Structure 1
Amino acid sequence: MTARLVVLVSGSGTNLQALLDACTDPAYGATVVAVGADRHGIAGLTRAQAAGVPSYVARVPDFASRDEWDETFTALTAEHRPDLVIGAGFLKLVGKTFLDRFEGRYINTHNALLPSFPGIHGPRDALAYGVKVAGATLHFVDGGMDTGAIIAQVAVPVLDDDTEDTLSERIKDAERAQLVDYVGRMARAGWTINGRKVIVG
């Protein structure tokens, strides 16, 4: 059975595109059934349209409260019956309703080796700290800031002449490959979560 993926985007959708490309191979074991976004007019939605994948948008400013947005976004996502929900450059923190509905099925990729350097400036913070190895983490999403159980990590060496931009670009390449690899593995072989330990297959 092919796993159903809903991918959430806020911008260019390069990770989404990598997943769409991977899903063209029947052996990958998954298909993107919908793309969700928190804003209109982004390249990620254009990529979804080009691939013939349905999309939906819920903007936080259009709702009376953040909870109301969360409930609507949860319902819109649930309509597509996802086996996995993937945050691929999705810049909104979802609320309790979404997390409860998709617990153990909502994953996100982060551009640092967690638990070090959570938040939106992973590469910058890693450089400032002087680490010699940076990287990317694929993890389940919980109620904290990048605190969910870790699925996979990939290391990226920090070069002496790295800037935030050069390091970020190398991390993005490794991060994208890891995301595609592990989403496929999870789709084909399943996964278990025991406390903080995640086993794929």
Structure 2
Amino acid sequence: MTFPIVVLISGSGSNLQALIDQSLQGNLNVEICAVISNKADAFGLQRAQKAGIPTHTLDHKSFDSREAFDEQLKLIIDQYQPRLVVLAGFMRILTETFAQHYEGRMLNIHPSLLPKYKGLNTHQRAIDAGEKEHGVSVHFVSAELDAGAVILQASCPIEKTETADTLASKIHSYEHIIYPLAVKWFSEERLAYKQGTAVLDGKILAESGVMYHPDLI
């Protein structure tokens, strides 16, 4: 029996594609019940349609408030009764009510080694700060921006000649590995959220979660 999830996007949907691919290859036993975007021109919608996945567009500009948008988004999501909501480049700050409704069953991926560099422009900020390494984190979503319990991280060195674009490219390659892995853990009930912490195989994870390496399964 497949594990139902809903994916939220705003852009190209490369992490959505990674989930689709892993599912088709039999590495991920999930059913992507729907893909929802707040932008009608998001390329990820085409990826979903090509894979035969139902899509919805919900333009946030059509709503008078963030709360009204989130309430309508919740209604669309809940009609599919997903066991997990996956934010894959969904560029919206969520209300506390929305975050609480999906507490413990909503994941996000953020391009930094959290808790460092929450928010935007993380690659350039890491370079400007003289960091030796940078990375990406999968975490549970909480009401505070990019502050939920971290599950899994991957890191790479920052070279002397690094630019934000080259660093982003390296980070993307890791995103497409660790996000499906975290979703897999959740779908297999190995991963859980308990009292504000991430728990894997019955063990509470450290603040930085698990660091990815090729042998990790």
**1:75 aligns to 2:52 (yes or no):** no
Does the Cα contact within 8 Å between 1:136 and 1:175 map onto a contact in 2? yes
The farther-off stretch of 173-182 and 111-120 is: 173-182
Aligned length: 201
Q: 2:49 aligns to what?
A: 49
Q: 1:128 aligns to what?
A: 128
After TM superposition, give the deviation of residue 48 of structure 1 in Å: 0.8
Aligned to 1:35, what secondary structure does the other structure show? strand
After TM superposition, give the deviation of residue 27 of structure 1 in Å: 4.8
After TM superposition, give the deviation of residue 196 of structure 1 in Å: 4.4
| Structure 1: runs of 5+ lacking an equivalent | none
Q: 1:181 aligns to what?
A: 181
Distance 1:182 1:91 in 2: 20
Does the Cα contact within 8 Å between 1:33 and 1:54 map onto a contact in 2? yes
Q: 2:93 aligns to what?
A: 93
Runs of 4+, deviation exceeding 4 Å: none
More helix as a share of residues: 1
Does the Cα contact within 8 Å between 1:134 and 1:157 map onto a contact in 2? yes
Q: Taking structure 1 as the reference length, what is the TM-score of the superposition?
A: 0.95
Task: Specify the code of the residue in structure 2 equivalent to 1:152.
Answer: L
Distance 2:100 2:178 in 1: 26
Does the Cα contact within 8 Å between 2:9 and 2:35 map onto a contact in 1? yes
Alpha-carbon deviations, 1:35-68, whole Å to 9, x = none? 0110102211111111110011111111122211
Q: Percent identity at matched positions? A: 33
Distance 1:198 1:29 in 2: 21
Alpha-carbon deviations, 1:70-107, whole Å to 9, x = none? 10011111111111111111101121332122111111
Q: 1:149 aligns to what?
A: 149
Distance 2:28 2:187 in 1: 8
Task: Specify the code of the residue in structure 1 equivalent to 2:112.
Answer: A
Distance 1:83 1:190 in 2: 14
Q: 2:108 aligns to what?
A: 108
Distance 2:23 2:60 in 1: 30
